[in-house]
C-alpha cells in the first residue's frame, strides 16, 4: 500500500471531522453541494453535447484529413511537423481526441522523434479552448464572449508554432 491510496479518504474524513468540530450539518451541506453540482451539469450539458457531436462529425466525415492535407504546405513552411497537424487542429476542440492522436504519433514515430517531442509539448502546454470556453461561459451564463475566442485562438496558434520552435532549439 502507498500513501497516495489514503489521500482522498483522509481528505474526506478530514472534512467530516472539521464539520463535526464546527457543529455543522455535514450531510445537509453535502446534499446542497450535490444539488448545486447537478444544476451546473444541467446548465452545461447542452453545450458539451453539441461540442462532442460536432467533433465526432468532423472526424468521421473526413474533414480532418482534408483540412490537414490543405494546411500541410503551411505547416511545412513554418517548420511545424506535418505529422502533428491533426493534433494541432484537434487539440483546441477535444482533449480525449487529442490524446488518442498523441498516442498514434508516439506509436508511429517514437517519443524521442521530432514529431513525438512536438506532440508532447503541444499536449502539455495547450488547452482544449472550445471546451473550456463552452463550459465556463455556460456555467457563468455569459452570452457575449467578445474577444475571448479570438484571443484564445491566437494563443493556440502561437503555442503550436512555438512548440516546434522550442523543440527544434532544444534538440
Per the CB < 8 A criterion, the answer to whether 55 and 138 are in contact is no
- Identify which of 97, 90, 91 has the alpha carbon closest to the alpha carbon of residue 126: 91
Lookup: cell for 169: 532549439
pLDDT at 101: 87
Number of CB atoms found within 10 A of residue 110's CB: 12
Confidence of residue 80 (pLDDT cuts 50, 70, 90): very high
Confidence of residue 117 (pLDDT cuts 50, 70, 90): very high
- For residue 80, the number of C-alpha atoms closer than 13 Å in the C-beta half-sphere is 24
Count the domains in the chain.
1
> What's the pTM value of the predicted model, to 2 decimals?
0.68
Confidence of residue 41 (pLDDT cuts 50, 70, 90): confident
pLDDT at 30: 84
Structural domain containing residue 88: 3-170
Q: What is the mean pLDDT of residues 144-161?
A: 88
Amino acid at each position: 500500500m502507498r500513501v497516495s491510496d489514503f489521500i482522498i479518504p483522509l481528505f474526506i474524513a478530514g472534512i467530516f471531522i472539521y464539520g463535526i468540530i464546527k457543529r455543522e450539518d455535514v450531510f445537509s451541506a453535502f446534499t446542497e453541494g450535490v444539488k448545486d453540482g447537478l444544476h451546473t451539469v444541467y446548465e452545461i450539458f447542452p453545450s458539451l453535447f453539441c461540442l462532442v457531436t460536432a467533433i465526432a462529425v468532423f472526424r468521421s466525415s473526413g474533414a480532418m484529413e482534408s483540412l490537414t492535407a490543405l494546411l500541410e504546405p503551411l505547416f511545412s513552411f513554418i517548420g511545424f511537423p506535418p505529422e502533428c497537424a491533426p493534433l494541432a487542429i484537434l487539440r483546441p476542440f477535444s482533449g480525449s481526441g487529442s490524446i488518442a492522436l498523441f498516442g498514434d504519433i508516439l506509436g508511429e514515430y517514437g517519443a524521442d522523434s521530432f514529431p513525438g517531442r512536438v506532440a508532447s509539448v503541444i499536449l502539455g502546454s495547450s488547452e482544449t479552448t472550445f471546451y473550456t470556453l463552452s463550459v465556463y461561459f455556460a456555467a457563468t451564463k455569459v452570452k457575449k464572449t467578445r474577444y475571448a475566442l479570438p484571443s484564445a485562438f491566437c494563443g493556440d496558434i502561437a503555442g503550436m508554432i512555438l512548440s516546434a520552435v522550442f523543440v527544434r532549439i532544444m534538440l
